[in-house]
Homo-oligomer: A and B are copies of this chain.
Amino acid sequence: MMEKAAPLRLNGRIWIELDSGRLLGPGRVELLERIKASGSIRQAALQMEMSYKQAWDLVNDMNDRFDTPVVISHRGGKGGGSAVVTEKGLKAIEQYHILDASFKRFLEENHKNIDL
């Protein structure tokens, strides 16, 4: 009798890092995209169901560690404040998606090699 084949999958994650640690992974990219779309750190955080503090800390960390800020924020004024993703941030998003697409192909291609 054939042994039941368990649905084993290959999965993984990639990120861009500095010596100081991880700088850009899927979560941060999604955050940047939602900031871009909403113009607000708070709205982006709400959409991702994370606290504003968590979102702000991530943005702040990226701004500190990229050589150029990825988000510029303003407080006060119409709407209470706003945040925009910089050219640098847009490039980072784009770069990550290109790498991630390659990685997904890698996972797909190597998935068939699993034989346990």
Residue numbers of A with Cβ under 8 A of B are 3-4, 6-19, 22-23, 66-67, 88, 91-92, 95, 98-99, 102-103, 106-107, 110, 113-116
19 A-B pairs in the complex with CB atoms less than 8 angstroms apart = A3-B67, A4-B67, A6-B18, A6-B66, A6-B67, A7-B19, A8-B16, A9-B18, A10-B15, A10-B16, A10-B17, A11-B14, A11-B16, A12-B13, A12-B15, A13-B13, A16-B114, A91-B116, A102-B106
Residues from chain B with Cβ under 8 Å of A66 in the complex: 6, 116
Closest to A22 in B: B11
Q: Are B17 and A14 in contact (CB under 8 A)?
A: no
For the complex formed by this chain, how many copies does it contain in all? 2
CB pair A116 B103 closer than 8 Å? no
Partner among B17, B23, B67, B110 whose Cβ is within 8 Å of the Cβ of A99: B110
Q: Which residue of B lies closest to A102 (CB)?
A: B110
Partner among B9, B19, B95 whose Cβ is within 8 Å of the Cβ of A116: B95
Chain B residue nearest in CB terms to A106:
B106
Residues in B neighbouring A23, C-beta threshold 8 A: 8
Which residues of B lie under 8 Å from residue A110 when comparing CB positions? 99, 102-103
